[in-house]
Amino acid sequence: MNSTQHIINAVSSSQEEICELREENTTLKSVVQSQAARIAWFEKQLFGSKSEKRIIDSPQQFNLLTEPTATEAPLEEKQLTITYQRGTAKKNRPEDCVTDAGLRFSDDVPVEIIRITPPELEGDGANDYDIIDTKISRKLAQQPASYVVLQYEMPVFKHKQTQAVKSTAMPEQVLDSSIADVSLLAGLLVDKFLYHLPLYRQHSRMSLQGVTVSRASLTNWTKRTIELLRPIVEAQLTNVLSSKVLAMDETPIKASRSEKGKMKTGYFWPIYGEDHEVVFTFNESRGRQHIEDVLKKHFQGTLITDGYSAYARFAEQMQGVTHAQCWVHSRRYFVEAELIDKSAVEHALDFIGQLYKIEAHITDKKLTDEKKREHRLTHSKPIVDNFFVWCAQQLHRPDLTPKHVLRKALNYVLVRENALRVFLEDPQVPMDTNHLEREIRPITLGRKNWMFCWTELGAEHVGLIQSLISTCKLHDINPNTYLTDVLQRISIHPASQVADLTPRLWKEKFAKNPLRSVLQRKAESKQ
């Protein structure tokens, strides 16, 4: 009996040990899968493509490591006569009207005329030839940025009879008690926020060209100039919030010091409206409160975002607000699991790829409103239905442990199914927030150069000017031309009509005849 009991105990103990080993094995598999996913993610950041799209080789695209086979014949040494000419280029050249190797340029690009005189047309034998035509070839050249000192000479004069002395008044400037011309102020903003050139680098460039000003002055001019533009951005935000469809996101920025050697993290909250305007609001927190502060009293419609839960919770509590989910963010979760379960991921990506092919067809055919809605319901909805059925079936796979990266992707989309379906019924709702993320990119690029903002007010100023520059780009407006005009116009423009100075409306009302800087007017008068 004792022997039998001993055997039973041994068997029981072995079974318990086997169960423990199985559990341990399952845990280790999950850990290995998780670590493999992390390694794959880091490898992709280092070596992979940064685009959402798959790489497609293009025969028209040159390899950066090779050179085109075609070579240009060297020009023989000729006598050169150089003159200056501006505004000779045709604007909005047709596709078939190209110069040399596809060069196109607008009226704003100066043209230097270089006349080449052959030996035959010089000297005593020149009369033996008649010029019957002129061949034109254009090359794109570059000259370094330059600075000009404007020297205003204002006469002081005296009345002959009364002997009263008067002096000529200085023309009104953008900033009182400042040596900065409007052309410099616009240039500082464009160079920093469009071309991501920090002020200290601009200061170095000035020094190299013989101009000495303090870095503090550049900072002060920038702050004061941006503050002048605040009412315009506020007017733009009002119009953005009147949209029926908004895209919203958030991105971090280091702003103000929390303690010595450490910076606090604040957040830009960009909002993209249906009139192709974007406003970068700022808040020190990533909490839901900022969403409510900006949208609660002013917005009714559909809000499309990434998967951050604060947006969904806000929409649930707001009557008249529908939450839509971005398909690209859903796609990214499947891409993260590609190396772990390639077959399943390819299946999921194929579903999503089919949806984007349908969207491309809608764009090509220029379908809008009800026709766009009907096309989505007819062609996209069956794919969406099959996609979610497939996702639900995958969850029943025995090999998908709780921490499996594919399970994470499946749960992500299934929880957000209703929000991912919104675009099917509303033709105004896009499938993703890519249009907004493209506008966030300049912030990310700029952050790599200027790193942080010393104060939260400084971060707010970044958001203000970026709102205008990004919107200028969306409406094909030269930011320098826009800022040069608006900075001179804002002090004389009625405050009740400040919305006219937003890039969208400015293009309609003032773009044909913008206010120029003194330097520009002087150059144009010489033409």
Sign of CA dihedral 350, 434, 271, 308: positive
Q: What is the pLDDT of residue 436?
A: 94
Q: Which of 107, 105, 116, 117 is nearest to 141 (CA)?
A: 105
Q: What is the pLDDT of residue 71?
A: 40
Predicted confidence band of residue 59 (pLDDT cuts 50, 70, 90): very low
Residue 253: phi and psi, rounded to 5, are -150, 135
DSSP 251-275: EEEEEEEEETTEEEEEEEEEEE-TT
Q: What is the pLDDT of residues 240-256, one digit of tens each?
A: 999 999 999 998 887 76
CB 112 within 8 A of CB 82: yes
Q: How far is it, in rounded angstroms, from Cα 282 to Cα 457? A: 9
Q: What is the pLDDT of residues 370-402, one digit of tens each?
A: 999 999 999 999 999 999 999 999 999 988 888
At CB < 8 A and 24+ separation, what contacts does 31-40 make? Answer: 31/403, 33/340, 33/401, 33/403, 33/404, 33/405, 34/403, 34/405, 36/339, 36/340, 37/336, 37/337, 37/339, 37/340, 37/405, 40/336, 40/338, 40/339, 40/340
Q: How far is it, in rounded angstroms, from Cα 190 to Cα 480? A: 6
Q: How far is it, in rounded angstroms, from Cα 405 to Cα 341? A: 9
Query: Looking at residues 398-419, what average pLDDT do you find?
Result: 92
CB 93 within 8 A of CB 104: yes
Query: Looking at residues 55-82, what average pLDDT do you find?
Result: 40
The most confident of 23-32, 56-65, 414-423, by mean pLDDT = 414-423
Q: What is the pLDDT of residue 256?
A: 65
Predicted confidence band of residue 454 (pLDDT cuts 50, 70, 90): low
Q: What is the pLDDT of residues 75-99, one digit of tens each?
A: 444 444 444 444 444 444 444 444 5
Q: What is the pLDDT of residue 433?
A: 95
Q: What is the pLDDT of residues 304-327, one digit of tens each?
A: 999 999 999 999 999 999 999 999
Residue in this structure with the two tokens 């103990």, named with its chain if needed = 13
Q: Which of 124-133, 216-225, 286-295 comes out lowest in average pLDDT? A: 124-133
Predicted confidence band of residue 112 (pLDDT cuts 50, 70, 90): confident
**Which runs of E-coded beta strand occur in 208-349?**
245-248, 251-259, 262-272, 278-283, 301-305, 321-325
Q: How far is it, in rounded angstroms, from Cα 426 to Cα 373? A: 6
Residue 274 has pLDDT above 80, yes or no: yes
- Amino acid (one-letter) located at 379: H
Q: b vs e for 58-77, b when ≥16 Cβ sit within 10 Å of the residue's Cβ?
A: eeeeeeeeeeeeeeeeeeee
Q: What is the pLDDT of residues 115-149, one digit of tens each?
A: 777 887 788 877 877 777 888 777 766 666 788 88
Residue 57 has pLDDT above 60, yes or no: no
Q: How far is it, in rounded angstroms, from Cα 273 to Cα 511? A: 22
Higher pLDDT, 66 or 398: 398
Query: Looking at residues 490-497, what average pLDDT do you find?
Result: 94
